[in-house]
A and B are shown apart, each in its own frame.
Chain A
Amino acid sequence: MPRRKTVTALLFVSPWLVGLATLVLYPFAASLYWSFCRYDMVSDPQWIGTANYERLGDELLHGGQFAQALRNTCYYAGLSVPLSIVLGISLALMLSWKVRGQAIFRTLFFLPSVVPVVATAVLWTWLLDPTDGMVNHLLSAVGLPGGGWFNSHREVLSATDWSATISSLQSGRHALLPLGSKDALVLMSLWGVGNFMVIYLASIGDIPSQLYEAAELDGAGPLRRLRHVTLPMLSPVIFFNLVMGLIQAVQAFTQIYLVSDGQGGPAGSTMVLSLHLFLTAFKELDMGYASAMAWVLFVFVLLVTVALFRTSRHWVHYQGAAR
């Protein structure tokens, strides 16, 4: 490209370049520097070497708040991302059936994802109220004890919590199912699965019908067609949603801040990395330590994403791509 054209092109993109440099690259580099400093935003940063990272390591080893936040984040992401994929695909498959009122069903299932996150948080706080909430009333109607939801630290994946519930039930004492605050957040996230569902729906519509016809001629039933045609053809979209969902889950903040009143409770059960980082930086004025935490979070997401990309070559199939 001639030099003059290059200059013109650069001039045209310069507003964006200036924005990128000042609003993205500079904070990015500054936070890396601050992560090696003691910094409270108002005094000059003081270089303290790797002390912030050592503190993170220490908290990780001795079960401090950072360890708790990392564990909570992994629990939330580990449960919400796979479930959102399974639910998203299931809904998309059902909504692709040619039935009367298909458009209405599609709209209805998509609607929750356009509800603002604040409204969603308030709504679910009501629905999951342990004493007066609709969900616990429904559970009790079918003879189940209900959950503590946003007021409980318990976890549905915890064997200890299940055994405590079972032993309470067996001894005739009052008991709740081990459905706690993180499980409630997962449930809340699944309600907004419509965004992913729409992508699956569009992708299902793009699958060539000849593939299904060929599979039928080979004697494949509905399940086999799903396993050997639909899912492989959806795999690029599943991969995209997996990566995006993971990043979203790790960065989840607003809804968690709202339901825990900005405290990460009860008993630290909703203290995820993003909330811990926010409170450390802006409530405790420990910007250096918070920056170190942000970098650890960044590297963590990067490593998981790289690992996903590495594994993707084994299970993601692109149309027309040579294997």
Chain B
Amino acid sequence: MNTHTKYKHEALASGLVSAASTRWRFVLGLVTNRFCFVVLFIVTALLIAQYDPDSTAVAPPDRQEVVFWHFWGGRDRVVVEDVVRRFNDSQQEHFVRAIAMPGNNLDLKFFLSVAGGDPPDLLNQDDPVLADWAHRGLLMPLDEVADKATAEQIESWLFPPARRLGTYDGRLYGLCNGLDIRALYYDQTLLEEHELEPPETWEALNRINRVVSPPEQETIKQFGFLPDPRRLWAWGIVFGGQFYDETTGTVTADEVPVVGAMDWMRSFSKTYGADRVAAFRSGDQSLTGSASPLLQGRYAVVMDGQWRVREIVAAQDKARSSGNPVRQYGVAPLPSPPGGRENAGWVNGNFFVVPKGSRNPAGALAFMKFWSGFDGHEAEAAVTCAAGGWIPVSPHVVKQPSFERYLRGNPLFAKFVELAGSPNQVPWPVTPGATYFQREITRTCEDAMYRDDAPPSEVMLREAATRIRARLKERVAP
């Protein structure tokens, strides 16, 4: 700082000080006094350290705490907090303290907590990480959290997809608490305008595009249907394939039905042009509420999960209340080509895991039962699922009168619940290295759909399967 500037600053400061009131002089004096400044700093730091935004969630002294990490936010978080409150109110022994974390890096935080020796008592996840974590000995199998007989009862109590999601190497490591199922949503009003049938059959689905979005059109503002490259996992199953044979531990992502599914998905890019398909798909999945692609009229048919039902209902209510015509929507299972599987698709879901080192596995088990509905908690679980718009993990919860009432009032949602019992709803492979497996298949399908110069599907999938096999072999190496 040169001399001129220094004098200028000093003059400015002295001007400010002389203009200040006595009170401000006192405050300024406190801050400039070194001792007072240090004291103020320490007091402020202590106050910040003591501040707990969720200070009401402190376990009473006569109860054992269950630290529960989850990633729910927004509307779902309210439902989660209500479940926690109801559980805590029902308990004399345990007390759940729920901690919401950003979902993207929940796994990273979990590793750090394990490495630091302070893992949570219970964790919710929805990524394909269960086998990796179990293989590394990070998780307690449910037959250790409870006992073998209870674990077997839970297995038989669950819907098949919920059971598959939590099972690794023949043991149940995760207890599913909600299924996410995909089906086809269709704009019934639009299809009727075009005199088209709902996409309930293979022929009907393929006809919709030819009528709604003929490829020879110069500008296409509305597509009949466009497949998402991330959903080869669903169409591969629908075509009759499987990506991984759990009985033999073999990668089968390059088998004929999966190749057929990818060829069919590529046919859209060939018909319309890869660039056009890629550009049109922009932001499709991230748009929510009234901006969702189906409600915006960008598509006649989209593949999506059950959480879109409430958006559709909200849009219909809004139209009704403002006196506008109400568009009708429908839901259909993914139709299968000849030789394919009925009521099939890719399923994922949220599941609880109990980390090794959990200080209160008994409390974690009690909360898991309360949430998922096992062991006499079916009625409570039905309330939870209806509040969150979540698909129950057991037919016993679906049969609860309160949930049956909910389904009668939500026919679109009921279609998804019907699919929950199908053995053809298949999750990502539950194997160590599943994250790599999932990314590699998705990347291969993206390459196939968006690159004009991509090799034939069978070559691409064969090469991908080879890479995956090598990686998986490495992952399970002792």
Contact = CB atoms under 8 A, between A and B. Distances in A.
A284 B115 CA distance: 16
A320 to B, nearest CB: 21
Contacts of B273: 168, 173-175
A268 interface: yes
Contacts of B282: 129-131, 150-151
Contact-size category for A = 35 or more
Contacts of A262: 104
Contact of B136 (A40, A168, A173, A174): A40
Contact of A267 (B111, B115, B451): B451
Contacts of B286: 261
B54 interface: no
Given A153-B451, A268-B446, A148 B108 contact: no
Interface string B398-441: 00000000000000000000000000000000000101100100
A152 B278 contact: yes
B115 A164 contact: no
B385 interface: no
Interface string A22-60: 000000000000000010111100000000000000000
A266 B282 CA distance: 10
B279 A151 contact: yes
Contact of A42 (B138, B280, B436, B446): B138
A160 B446 contact: no
A174 B452 CA distance: 14
B138 A282 contact: no
A154 B107 contact: no
A73 to B, nearest CB: 17
Contacts of B108: 282
A222 interface: no
B217 to A, nearest CB: 9
A268 B279 contact: no
Interface in A98-151: 125, 129-131, 148, 150-151
Nearest to B445: A267
A174 B218 CA distance: 7
Contacts of B107: 282-283
Given A40-B136, A42-B138, A151 B278 contact: yes
Given A40-B136, A173-B273, A266-B450, A148 B114 contact: no
A124 B331 CA distance: 34
Contacts of B132: 285
Given A268-B446, A283-B435, A285-B132, A41 B111 contact: yes
Interface centre among A125, A267, A282 (most CB of B within 10 A): A267
B278 A148 contact: yes
Contacts of B115: 41-42
A267 B439 contact: no
B275 A176 contact: yes
B435 A284 contact: yes
A175 B275 contact: yes
Contact of B446 (A64, A129, A266): A266
B452 A263 contact: no
B283 interface: yes
A243 interface: no
A236 interface: no
B450 A267 contact: yes
Interface string B260-282: 00000000000011011011111
Interface residues of B, number: 38
Contact of A266 (B136, B276, B278, B439): B278
A144 to B, nearest CB: 14
Contacts of B439: 263, 279, 283
Contacts, number: 85
Nearest to B452: A164
Contacts of A125: 283
A232 interface: no
B315 to A, nearest CB: 19
A43 B356 CA distance: 13
B104 A268 contact: no
Contacts of B275: 148, 152, 154, 174-176
A47 B281 CA distance: 45
Contacts of A40: 136
B431 to A, nearest CB: 13
B279 A160 contact: no
Interface centre among B132, B280, B446, B467 (most CB of A within 10 A): B446
Contact of B114 (A42, A168, A175, A284): A42
B278 to A, nearest CB: 5
Contact of A43 (B136, B435, B436, B474): B136
Contacts of A168: 273
Interface centre among A150, A261, A268, A285 (most CB of B within 10 A): A285
B292 to A, nearest CB: 14
20 contacts: A38-B474, A42-B115, A43-B136, A64-B467, A131-B282, A151-B279, A151-B282, A153-B278, A168-B273, A174-B275, A175-B275, A176-B275, A176-B279, A262-B104, A266-B446, A267-B446, A267-B447, A282-B111, A283-B435, A284-B436
Interface of A: 38, 40-43, 64, 125, 129-131, 148, 150-154, 160, 164, 168, 173-176, 261-263, 265-268, 279, 282-285
Interface of B: 104-105, 107-108, 111, 114-115, 132, 136-138, 218, 272-273, 275-276, 278-283, 286, 433, 435-436, 439, 442-443, 446-447, 450-453, 467, 474, 477
Given A130-B278, A174-B272, A176-B275, 14 more contacts: A41-B111, A131-B279, A148-B278, A151-B278, A151-B279, A151-B281, A152-B278, A152-B450, A263-B442, A266-B446, A279-B439, A282-B105, A283-B107, A284-B433
